[in-house]
Amino acid sequence: MGKAIRIYAGVGGRAARICAAAALLACGSNVQAQRTQLKPGWNLFSVQQDIVVGKQNAVQAEKQLPLCNSPKVDAYLTQLGMKLVAHLDTHGATYPWEFHCVNDRAINAFALPGGYVFVNRGAIEAADNEAQLAGVMAHEISHVALRHGTNQASKAQATQGLLGITGGLFGGGVSGAMLEQLGSFAAGGVLLRYSRNAETQADISGTQVLYDSGYDPRAMAQFFEKLEAETKGKNPPEFFSDHPSPDHRVDRVDQEISKLGGSPANARKDSQEFEAAKREVMNLPIVKKATPGPAGGGGMSKPAPPSSSMSMYQSTGYAMKYPDNWKKYGEQDNVAFAPDGGVGNDSSGHGALAYGISIGTQTVQDPNAPSALDTATQQLIDGLKQSNPSMKVARQAVRVRLNNQPALSTYLGSASPVGGQETDWVITVMRPEGLVYFVCTAPQAEYSNYDKTFGSILDSVRFK
Ligand SMILES: [Zn+2]
């Protein structure tokens, strides 16, 4: 950790004893004793599972993102990152840190659980000095140490317990299926969209790391301020969509700095290595971002049309058929079937189901109540709207039958991960195990190409 004594607020007894031992030293002015103590929040995952999930996502990110492919810049980021990690409180965990440069001019950076950090060239280019870049990285590694990604996933699991249309989680605790899901397309949106509270924590921890590493601790907040000032009235940088600014961000950081005893006079700001790395990224070829959209335009390629020959799927509660060129994701009560290329990126670049069907079960308190189907369907739709604010009801629920069971059919609309609008056709049925829902998703412009397939899938459903 590199510091001889770390006395936290709230450990008064110990602090008092150390003060007594220090006898004549002015303990009252030991401002370091006041630094904010942070702890990872509630989590269903183990640290080892953070690493597994993070690694799976990192492998995919490396395949999908344009990397800088500059050994020089990667080595520089790794060296800087490890210098910061040496002063990071990981709460006893050891992570396999990796640092990658992404050839993307958007000002952003992200860290996956387990310590897989990706820094866009845009963030390096936008930083005025090494301390500012170190600030961004200290913020990112703090998300890892505070385990914010899987904390969010745990909360989503507990409060929703369903597969959100835009890629939520599959139910039932941290099962193999859930890990599999988090390791694949559904992950990004849950793992990387932090709450403002998590942002404040990462700011505070990041400031402590900067301070302890000998950097100007104001550099992180200065960088955020600069980003905000430079983009006033324009599109805010991507960084703020992944890392939403908490209220009084800069004030809170300043407060922490004074708790730490102020910015040291000899704090490091810049280095020749930073300037060299910045020159290097500025000379990298510019990679045009694929513009997602059903019209093509270099975006993700459209999935192959659904095959008319079907495979059989059996869950504990029902059997059904699906096109044999679609893949199954998840298990048992919470599954999705999607074609290759059926998974796009949502507005903040995270994986989400764009084409396919998701099926899940939501527990219901009293499945036999006369209005149980209506009430539970409404709750399901409310939950979906909550996880996807762009979602609207396009056609109110109408009564239908699914395998001869009373069912509700509702059409929703929302922003598609591949651009434009998508249609989500939701069929809900009340079963002894709870509300079973089928969500058929495709971009609005192509929905008519999928309507028949969705119909065949639903016609094939047989409850047990
Ligand atoms: Zn953040």
What is the pTM for the complete model shown?
A: 0.60
Cα(243) to centroid(ligand 1), Å: 4
Cα(194) to centroid(ligand 1), Å: 6
Are 116 and 52 in contact by the 8 Å Cβ rule? The answer is no
Nearest to 204 by CA among 3, 8, 38: 38
E-state strands within 157-241:
none
What's 356's DSSP letter? Answer: E
Cα(169) to centroid(ligand 1), Å: 21
Are 99 and 74 in contact by the 8 Å Cβ rule? The answer is yes
Query: Which residues is 414 bridged to in the sheet?
Result: 422
Cα(108) to centroid(ligand 1), Å: 10
Is residue 253 classed as helix, strand or coil in its secondary structure?
helix
Residue 186 confidence (pLDDT): 42
Per-residue pLDDT of the chain (464 residues; tens, 9 = 90+): 333 333 333 333 333 333 333 333 344 444 455 899 999 998 888 999 999 989 988 888 888 789 999 999 999 999 999 999 999 999 999 999 999 999 999 888 999 999 999 999 999 999 999 999 999 999 999 999 999 998 888 877 665 543 332 333 333 334 555 555 565 534 455 677 788 899 999 999 999 999 999 999 999 999 988 888 877 766 777 777 778 888 888 899 999 999 999 988 889 899 999 999 999 999 999 887 654 433 333 334 688 899 989 999 998 899 999 999 998 876 666 788 888 878 755 444 444 678 899 888 888 888 888 899 999 999 888 877 776 777 888 888 888 899 999 999 999 988 877 777 888 899 999 999 899 999 999 988 888 889 889 999 999 999 99
Cα(128) to centroid(ligand 1), Å: 20
Cα(399) to centroid(ligand 1), Å: 44
Within 265-400, where are the H helices? 272-282, 372-387
Tell which phi-psi region holds residue 37, choosing left (phi > 0), alpha (psi between -120 and 50) or beta.
Answer: beta
**127: CB partners within 8 A, 6+ apart:** 133, 136, 223, 274, 278
Residue 183 confidence (pLDDT): 59
Cα(433) to centroid(ligand 1), Å: 39
Cα(239) to centroid(ligand 1), Å: 8
Residue 324 confidence (pLDDT): 94
Cα(198) to centroid(ligand 1), Å: 7
H or E, element range at 231: none
**Distance separating the N- and C-terminal Cα atoms of the chain:** 58
Cα(79) to centroid(ligand 1), Å: 21
Tell which phi-psi region holds residue 276, choosing left (phi > 0), alpha (psi between -120 and 50) or beta.
Answer: alpha
Cα(134) to centroid(ligand 1), Å: 14
Cα(112) to centroid(ligand 1), Å: 11
Nearest to 138 by CA among 46, 22, 253: 253
Cα(202) to centroid(ligand 1), Å: 6
Cα(93) to centroid(ligand 1), Å: 20
Cα(250) to centroid(ligand 1), Å: 14
- CA dist 123 and 107 (Å) reads 4
